[in-house]
Amino acid sequence: MNMTTPIEQREFKIVGKSVKRDDVLEKVTGEAQYTGDIKLPGMLHGKIKRAAIAHARIKSIDVSKALAYPGVKAVLTHETVPRVLHYGSPHPRSASCTKDQYILDHKVRFWGEGVAAVAAISEEIADEALDLIEVEYEALPGVFEPEDAVQLGAPLIHEVGPGGNLVLDPVRVNRGDIDKGFAEADFVLEGTFAGGRPHPAYMEPNVCVADWDGSNKLTFWTSTQTSFMVRGILAEVLGLPLTKVRVLVDHMGGGFGAKQDLFQHEFLCALLAKETRRPVKMEFTRHETFVAGRSRHPCKIWLKQGFKNDGTLVARDMKLVYDSGAYGSHGPGVTIVGTTAATSLYRCENVRLEGRCVYTNTPINGAFRGYGVVQSYYALDIQMDEAAERLGMDPAELKLKNVVRAGDIAPSGHPIIGHGLEICLKHGIDVLDWTTLRGRDRTPDPKRPHIRKGWGIGCEMHGSSAYPGIKEQGNATVKVNEDGTVTLLTGAAGLGTGAHTALAQIVAEELGVRFEDVGVIHGDTDVVPWDIGAFASHTTYLVGTAAKMAAEKVRAAVLARAAMKLQVSAEEIDLSEGKVFLIAEPDRSMTVSEAMGPSRGIPAANIVANGTYEPTKSYSFAAHFTEVDIDTETGIVEVKRVVPVHDVGRVIHPIAAQGQIEGGIQQGIGHTLTEDYVIDKKTGRSLNAGLVDYKMPLSMDMPDIETIILEAAPDPGGPWGAKGVGEDPIIAIGPSIANAIHDAIGVRFHHYPITPEDILKALREKGA
């Protein structure tokens, strides 16, 4: 929807093929270097002293014993670090961030917040020194639930912001006439919904290494999705020009959105290295990834919708309250995106939405795959199922009737391109023979009558790019080297999705060279063009378009150079598979290598071009069809089979796209059934910050997934119509499971995770 030009059609040679990923070769051999693998001469180890209280003022900190401990080289507290108020979420060009944090403050706002940092010659010594730091607290009353935090007289967690523990002013969206809509309704459904606190649990704990050189320049390795944002905020808070901060990230062990904050430990690592004039590594324990990492915002939703008896949706009134935890982080963005998303998915002309985001004395919630929309669409999609039940309609039929279509106004304010969701739904209904499936016995196994089976559908749409919240910019530099090979320089992070491979495919396709001849340079802010970061399902869409633009320019220049050498005009020749040839006489040709290399009177050369792309937004769509088995004796829900049908526009790398969908389903099953990072409501203390007590679906729990990707609605905003795919699956799977549970046992759940205890309790109540 960014350009009005039609999408170019061509016979693809590289795009659409699952070429081998270079990064994976290094990963299967163990050679891939992650930040935690870095070991520098003289390197110290940093550790953070964490508060064992959720809300307090620090009366005093005595670090003398820690400093005297053999092997300790430096200790930092709020009295010795720069006091600069800064953003937690470092997105530039965005007004949606609240500056609400210091590197270290004299106040503690959540259990586990860092209050001091130590650098020592070993991790063990640094750890032991933490116990020697004596902190005296003046306890403050804490608030652990948004509804308590917004009460009059509730303890205030921050001095900044709009007040009343709000992270930002309420987000309000009004379309049409809500009163008129409800007046026209034949019936109204109203319900409250609640989402837990799932944690991304990427496999690589947060880690960084800081090293200063003699010119006072900081080199900083960190596992981040947003290296240029890290550079920007580090420079700002430490008072350095951007040329004095170099951020490096090669491989990273996952992020799922949550590695796009500027974390407290990152500042402290840099400052400890500065103080000691030695490199310092700081690596989270798994426990710290929970306590000091970022989780999804718990959310409470009130949803009231009016329907006509023919199934037409005529009014939607919705209030959402997101729990930000102790700091703003991505709270503003999540609230805006999650709230405005509810204008769409299912058509409704009369909409009134209000989203709030509230501080509590709990660990920080941040960006996580599905960014606020997981919560709002869970409610929308479940209530749509309820409406179908009320109408005596098949939910597939009701959803099909109401899903957004081409020309409808998307949450971004732009008309939607194509009928992606409708096509996904219809395809799934056909492939599964949904109507027959619905008529099947719910207890098909007479030997196991306690096992009940159910099927559910979940629908979603999600934007590629963070527009309009953030006006994004994607950059790429493409160099054709003197031997005809090609180098792509990109700032996009490689968090494991295969994005660099997709970008190289796009360059090779557009330029007309072999995929193997394109190398990708990334992960060094001193070298590659500026990048906004890998998030919002946008790397292929945003940076892919920028790379295509750069490739288009170098292609023209290569053709011009070859034309000069062949002594023909550039219009007479074409370039394909690394060869320049005369269109009229294909046998007269030269390789790109010959075109770029030296020949009599013409020295070898490089051709360099940049692409810069500032998109609006495109939407991808999905419908998930999910089968569950419920053991009515134990309450255990087993997801047996998922058929996810996705429209992602043009597919660049099919296996990588499928991998995103299957991984998103895994995380979404966890969110819906087993995963919840639990914070004690009386103390704010973490109760399950570890991988045994925080229960994720593993190999034994995974259903059969039959991924279907349709190129149903290519969008001219992305390269050859490509759109995002990273976040979509995690949004659709949740409601499909909740709806399947209802189909199996006739009980409607409005929250996640839906635990075996919930199932048994509901079955008991239903029986009674």
Does 256 bind other proteins (CB under 8 A)? Our answer is yes
Does 25 bind other proteins (CB under 8 A)? Our answer is yes
Q: Least distance to other proteins from the beta carbon of 665, Å?
A: 6
Q: Quick one: three-class SS letters along 40-91?
A: CCCCEEEEEEECCCCCEEEEEEECHHHHHCCCEEEEEECCCCCCCCEECCCC
Judged by CB under 8 A, which of 68, 203, 583, 602 binds other proteins? 203
Q: What is the DSSP letter of 512?
A: T
- In sequence order, what are the beta bridge partners of 207? 283
Please calculate the CA angle 656-662-663 and round it to the nearest 5 degrees.
85
Judged by CB under 8 A, which of 8, 33, 179, 633 binds other proteins? 33
> Side chain identity at 335, as an amino acid letter?
T
* Integer Cα distance of 691 and 659 in angstroms: 23
Judged by CB under 8 A, which of 29, 215, 216, 436 binds other proteins? 29
| Minimum CB distance to other proteins smaller for 250 or for 261 | 250
Q: Which residue has the tokens 């652990």?
A: 144
Q: Which stretch binds other proteins (CB under 8 A): 2-10, 32-40, 357-365, 411-419?
A: 32-40
How many alpha carbons lie under 13 Å from residue 256 in its C-beta half-sphere? Answer: 28
| Minimum CB distance to other proteins smaller for 37 or for 577 | 37
Judged by CB under 8 A, which of 146, 232, 253, 615 binds other proteins? 253
Does 699 bind other proteins (CB under 8 A)? Our answer is yes
Q: Which of 458, 459, 456, 389 is nearest to 744 (CA)?
A: 456
Does 70 bind other proteins (CB under 8 A)? Our answer is no
Residues 628-657 touching other proteins, rule: CB under 8 A, are 655-656
Q: Least distance to other proteins from the beta carbon of 32, Å?
A: 6
| Minimum CB distance to other proteins smaller for 613 or for 625 | 625
Q: Which residue has the tokens 């060869």?
A: 579
Does 204 bind other proteins (CB under 8 A)? Our answer is yes
Full strand arrangement of the beta sheet holding 134-139: 107-108, 56-62, 134-139
* Tokens of residue 136, six digits: 């005296």
| Minimum CB distance to other proteins smaller for 9 or for 699 | 699
Q: Least distance to other proteins from the beta carbon of 206, Å?
A: 12
Judged by CB under 8 A, which of 1, 16, 17, 24 binds other proteins? 24
Does 768 bind other proteins (CB under 8 A)? Our answer is no
Judged by CB under 8 A, which of 77, 224, 666, 739 binds other proteins? 666
Q: Going by C-beta distance under 8 Å and a sequence separation of 6 or more, which residues neighbour residue 394?
A: 388, 434, 435, 438
* Tokens of residue 213, six digits: 């050189």
Q: Which of 420, 417, 333, 327 is nearest to 373 (CA)?
A: 333
Q: What is the DSSP letter of 539?
A: I
Does 700 bind other proteins (CB under 8 A)? Our answer is yes
Does 37 bind other proteins (CB under 8 A)? Our answer is yes
User: Is residue 136 helix, strand or coil?
Assistant: strand
What does the chain come to in residues? 768
Judged by CB under 8 A, which of 407, 606, 698, 761 binds other proteins? 698
Give φ, ψ of 346 to 5 degrees.
-115, 130
* Integer Cα distance of 190 and 318 in angstroms: 10
* Tokens of residue 15, six digits: 């795009």
Q: Least distance to other proteins from the beta carbon of 689, Å?
A: 11
Does 370 bind other proteins (CB under 8 A)? Our answer is no
Judged by CB under 8 A, which of 4, 6, 9, 30 binds other proteins? 30
Q: Which stretch binds other proteins (CB under 8 A): 24-32, 327-335, 413-421, 756-764?
A: 24-32
Distance of CA 568 to the CA centre of its chain: 50
Residues 285-304 touching other proteins, rule: CB under 8 A, are 285-286
Q: Taking the CA atoms of the chain, what radius of gyration do you get in angstroms? A: 27
The secondary element (H helix, E strand) that includes residue 502 is helix 499-511
Residues lying near other proteins in the complex (CB under 8 A): 18, 20-21, 23-34, 36-37, 39, 124, 200-205, 251-254, 256, 285-286, 495-498, 655-656, 658-659, 662-667, 690-692, 696, 698-700, 702, 705, 707
